[in-house]
Amino acid sequence: MTDFDRPHRRFNPLRNEWVLVSPHRARRPWLGQVEKTPALALPEYDPECYLCPGNQRAGGVRNPEYETTFVFDNDFPALLPPAEGQAASSGLLTAEPVSGISRVVCFSPRHDLTLPELPLPAVETVIRTWADQTRELAERENIAYVQVFENKGEMMGCSNPHPHSQIWATSFVPNEPQIEQDALLEYHARRGGCLLCDVLDTEKAIGERIVVSNDDFTALVPFWAVWPFEILVISRRHFGALTDLDRAEISNLAGILKQVTTRYDNLFEISFPYSMGFHQAPCDGRPHPEAHFHLHFYPPLLRSATVRKFMVGFEMLAMPQRDLTPETAAQRLLELSPVHYRQAYK
């Protein structure tokens, strides 16, 4: 096997691309940008927050006094309903009209509780809300894909600290899920099986990159990870979408989400930033037996709460590159307490 202590590259079959790994660079000194640490504590309710219950949002809409999850159409949507008379262009400079719906899902009325700090039943409610929204949006005639995602923390561009996620339903299949769908379809056609089922079997046999697992889901640092503490969550059962989850799987997915995000927070004892999102089968009216439901976590922090990974230079112009090996990242996450550090100090 390749000597993983020396520079090497790893193949990502889910994207059909290579990743450069340079373990020796993890020892280099850091004199670059240092981020500010997140706020230590937030209030349970913020009268200035446009996501808190009863508060007014942009445009004058007032939130209800909600007591569980709360969903609304984004006041500043990236996508708009279909419009009459939109024309497409062709040739070298090509454009075409798109449409869709952008929604916001508040996790709870509490301004100060992120996913790892919510009780398990509340996380289950969030998942059921994502599934219900996926079902409702996927049934619309002009929707081909439903993307559920969360940006957590200022470092990831989150404009409001009230814990929430977003759902963008699009009239097309976006680039990232399309790349993966193509890889899954090609693997299915060539091997007659599922790429992610085989990845999961392989990783479970090796064991060294698995962070947490239960009867229905496994969270692991993928062999080809780009971000320092990237995690891929794969369902044990082969199915395509949030709408296919049964009751036990919802509970076990909630447990995995709490375990992963708790370990993230415990790593540097901060509210750990990340972008997270589900990849599921397109809802374009065609069968997708190759699709396998999974979840990506892309966290930027590298060495501490204030040093992040930047995708610049070689990463932008040549290929993805990382210093910390996936095996080391997985071991560090695995060794952390499953109890959230804020609860441990109480």
Alpha helices in 139-214 (DSSP H): 175-191, 195-206
Q: Is 164 a catalytic residue?
A: yes
Kind of pairing between the strands at 145-152 and 164-170: antiparallel
Secondary element (H or E) of residue 121 = helix 120-138
d(CA 90, CA 59): 37
Contact 299, 229 (CB under 8 A): yes
d(CA 104, CA 72): 6
The residue written with tokens 């990849």 in the block is: 279
Give strand pairing partners of 148.
167
Secondary element (H or E) of residue 262 = helix 247-268
Kind of pairing between the strands at 17-21 and 321-322: parallel
The Cα angle at residue 252 between residues 116 and 326, in degrees rounded to 5: 65
CB contact set of 200 (below 8 Å; sequence gap of 6+): 218, 234, 236
- Say which of 111, 162, 164, 296 is annotated catalytic: 164
Which sequence positions are flagged as catalytic? 164
